[in-house]
Structure 1
Amino acid sequence: MKKKFLGLLIFITTYASSQTYTTNFNVNTNNKDIKSIVDIWQSYLKTNSKEYWNTAETKDLKNFNILNIEGVINPSLMNWNFSNLILSVNLFSEDSYLIKSIFEGENKSVFAITNVLAKKENGNFKLSNYLFDYTKNWRSHSSENITYFYRPDYILNVEEVSQAEKFYSELCKTFNLKSEKLTYFIAKDCDNIYDILGYEYIFSKGMSKECGYYEIQNNYIFATEKAGANHYHEITHFINKFYPNANYLLLTGVSAYLSGEKAHFGKPLIYHIKRVNEYLEKNKEISLSKPFDFYKLDENTNPQYVIGGLLCDLIIERQGKNGLIEAFKNTKSDEEFLQFLQSKVLKKNENLNDVLRKKIKEISKTDEFPNRLKN
C-alpha cells in the first residue's frame, strides 16, 4: 500500500535530517553484556547489516528482520531514518536479552516502540526476531503449500485451509507462476499482529478493526482470527514479487478483485463499491481521471481498493487476461499507467472519470462483483 493510502501518516514529519542513537538513563552500560548489546543494536540501525543478526535467521530469511516489513508502514521501518532511543535492555531468558527502543521523528513524536532480542551465538550476542519467541508455543499445521501457526486455543478450520490451497493453486495457474511455500500466522486481532512482529507500540495500534499483511520476501502472511485460514486478499499478494513494474493501484486492485468475501476489511468488494457509489453521488466534484488521488472515504472503506479493482476489471473486459498481465509489466509510474489506459484500454474520446463512474454505478445495482478471471 502506497504511503498516501495511510491517512494516519499525515501527522508524521519528513525524514529526520539527522539521526541520533541514544540510551535511556536506566540502561546500565557499565554492564559488559548490556554495553555489547547496545553497541550491536545501534550498529545495526546505522548499517542494516546482517553481520549483527542471528546466523540461522539470516540464512533462512531473505528479509531477516521481520520488523522491517512493508505494508504495516510504508516505507518499512528501517527506511524512515528515525532516531532511536533504547529504553531498556533486560534479561529475557537464560541466554537472551530483550531490547526495547523508541523510533522517533525529528520533533520527538513517537512512531514505534519495538521489541528485539539479543542472543548469545558462539560467545557473542546477535540480534533475533521477537516473532519466533512469541510464537514458539503456538500450534502449527502444514498443508501442501502453506504452513500455519496459530494460538493454542484457536481452532483451525480445515475447510478454510483447503479453500486457501485451492485459491492459491488457481492464482498461480491464472498467472502462470510456480507456487512457493507460504508461512501463515493467525493472530488474535490486528493489535496482536503488531505484538508478534515486535511492535509493542505503533502509531496505528488500536485503530484497525480488521487487517492483514504479506511479507513478500519471505512469503509470510499475517492474518487475524476473524480473517481465518483463507485470507485470499493476502494470498493474492504472492504475485506482487513477479511484477515489480506494476502500478501499485493495479496490485492493490487485483488483491481485492480476486478475494471474494474477504476483499477489503473483511467485506466483499461489492459492499465497498456500493459505499463508494453513494459517496461519489454526493461529491460530483471528485474526478477519477487521476484515480490515485481518490484515497480517502472513511475508516470502513479505502476507495483505492474499489478503483484498483475496477481498473483491473476494465482492462480484462477490453484486453483480456493478457492485457492485465501486460499492464502489470509496464505501468510502474502513475504517468505510465495513465498512458497505458489511454492508449490500450479507453476508446477514442472516452474519459476515464466518466467510464469509472458509470462502471461503479452499474455494478452497485447488483449483488455480486463480476470476476472475469475465473476459469
Structure 2
Amino acid sequence: MRKIIAILFLSIIIGLKAGAQININPGVDTTDLTIKSAIKFYTDYMGEFKGKKLPDFKKYWSEEDCKSYKIPDLSIYGVGGDYPIYAMAPIKTITYVKPLPNDMVMLKSIGGWIDTLKILNVMYLSNHLIKKDKNQQLHFVKPTTFYKKDWQHKDLRNIHYTFPKKHIFNKKIADSLIAQVEKLEKDWELKPIQIEYVFAPTYDEIQQIRGFDFTLGLGNREKPSGLSNQTDNIVYGAGNGENYFHEIVHIYLNPIHPKSPLNEGLAVFYGGSMGQNLSWHIKRVKAYLKNHPEINLNKPQEFYFMDNYTNPLSTIQGLLCNLVYKKDGIKGLKRLMTYTNVNEVYEKEFGLDLKNLNKGLRALIDSQ
C-alpha cells in the first residue's frame, strides 16, 4: 500500500502543475437531457475537490446519508490515506452514462495522469450512481445501497457486519474478533466504538461496493487486505472473513495518538498484515535482508516494498512495538505511542546510533 501511495503523491504533484481536466468519451450521448444533467452534476462535484478540501456534501448527497455519515461518499479515500483520490487524478474522462429505472443514472469515469512520456496512467475506474428525488433534485446514491439486495447484515456487540448474500456467517470467527476487541478496550481503557464492518472474499468486491470497478493496486494474486475509515468508523476487509482485527485497531487507537509514526506498526503488532501474523512477516524480512546486503536501513522509510505479501517498513515498526511490549507490556506500548518522531524511538527506546542505523536495525531484526 505504501508503494501505491508513493505513486499517488507523484500524481498529485503532476496534477497540481497540469490542472484538473474532465473529458467526455466519444459515444456518450450528450444530447440526452437526463445524461446531460448527470454529467453536469458529476462535473460540479469533481470541481469541488481541491487538495484535501472536501465538497459540501449537502449539495450532492441525500439528507439521510448526510445524517448517517460525516463523509457519505465512501469512495473518496479510494486506496487509504487522507488525500481524496479524486484530487489525485488531474485527468478525468467520463466513459459511460446510462439511464436506469426509478430515475437513476449510472456514470462511469476514468481518473489518472499523463506521465512524461505522454502515456495515460489509470488510477481508478469509478462507478457513480445518481438519482433524481421527488423534488427533481439530483443526489448520489451509495453503491452499498444499490447492491443492498445482494448483501446481508448482522449485529454482534458493537460490530455491524455487512457481507455478500452467498456467504455463510461464521460466528466462531466473529466471536474471536469480539474477544480481541474487548481485550483491546480493557488494556487501553477505552469504551466500545460502533463499527460498520464490511467484508467480502476479494478486494475487487470491496472496491465495487465503494464505487470502483478498478483502483490502483487491484489485480495480482489474491491476498487478505483491508482499509479503515476512521471518520465514520468503517472497516473494509477482504479475504479474512469476520475477523480483520488489524483495521479495528486503527479505528480504536489511531485517534488517540494521531501524530505517532508507529500507528501502522501497532496495527501489525496486534492484527498482523495481509492475513499473516507479525512473526511470519519478521521471518520474511529477516531472510530478505540477509539476501540483500545492499539495502541501507539508515533510511528505513525508503524500505517500504519487497514483494506483494510483506510490507517491510510496517513489519519493522511492528517489531519495535513487540519488543517494547515484551519488556514493559501495555504501559510500554502507551509510552511508545507518545513519540512523534521515529528517530527518538530508535534512540531512546533501543539505544540505536542514528548515524549507523543500518547496522543497529539489522542486528535488532536478526535477533528475532
TM-score range, shorter chain: 0.7 to 0.9
Query: 2:281: which partner in 1?
Result: 272
Query: 1:75: which partner in 2?
Result: 83
Residue from 328, 339, 348 that aligns with 2:337: 328
In structure 1, distance between residues paired with 2:353 and 2:30: 70
Shift of 1:349: 5.9
Q: SS of the residue aligned with 2:20?
A: coil
Residue from 65, 68, 71 that aligns with 2:73: 65
Query: 1:242: which partner in 2?
Result: 256
1:6–1:44 Cα change, 3 Å: closer
Shift of 1:55: 2.2
Residue from 234, 254, 264 that aligns with 1:220: 234
AA matched with 2:125: I
Does 2:320 match 1:311? yes
Query: 1:298: which partner in 2?
Result: 307
In structure 2, distance between residues paired with 1:102 and 1:178: 42
* Alignment check: 8 A CA contact 1:104 1:112 kept: yes
AA matched with 2:288: Y
Deviations 1:261-284 (A, max 9, x none): xx1221222121111111111223
Shift of 1:6: 5.2
* Alignment check: 8 A CA contact 1:190 1:208 kept: no
Query: 2:263: which partner in 1?
Result: 251
- Matched residues, percent identical? 27
In structure 2, distance between residues paired with 1:172 and 1:288: 35
Q: SS of the residue aligned with 1:288?
A: coil
Q: SS of the residue aligned with 1:241?
A: coil
* Alignment check: 8 A CA contact 2:99 2:106 kept: yes
In structure 2, distance between residues paired with 1:230 and 1:193: 15
Query: 2:342: which partner in 1?
Result: 337
Query: 2:351: which partner in 1?
Result: 347
In structure 1, distance between residues paired with 2:86 and 2:305: 27
Query: 1:15: which partner in 2?
Result: 14
AA matched with 1:189: T
AA matched with 2:40: D
AA matched with 1:33: T
In structure 1, distance between residues paired with 2:164 and 2:268: 27
Query: 2:64: which partner in 1?
Result: 56
Query: 2:92: which partner in 1?
Result: 84
Query: 2:28: which partner in 1?
Result: 27
Deviations 1:313-356 (A, max 9, x none): 2344556534433443441xxxx2213432x3133868544443
In structure 1, distance between residues paired with 2:26 and 2:61: 26
Q: SS of the residue aligned with 1:279?
A: helix
Does 2:199 match 1:186? yes
Shift of 1:37: 1.5
**Normalized against structure 2, the TM-score is what?**
0.86
Query: 1:39: which partner in 2?
Result: 40
Deviations 1:138-189 (A, max 9, x none): 1111011001111122111101111111111222222222221111112121
User: Which segment is superposed worse, 175-184 or 13-22?
Assistant: 13-22
Would you say how many aligned residue pairs link Structure 1 and Structure 2?
A: 351
Gaps of 5+ in 2: 49-54
Query: 2:52: which partner in 1?
Result: none
1:132–1:241 Cα change, 3 Å: farther
AA matched with 2:215: I
Query: 1:99: which partner in 2?
Result: 107
AA matched with 2:291: K
1:338–1:169 Cα change, 3 Å: same
AA matched with 1:100: K
In structure 1, distance between residues paired with 2:283 and 2:221: 21
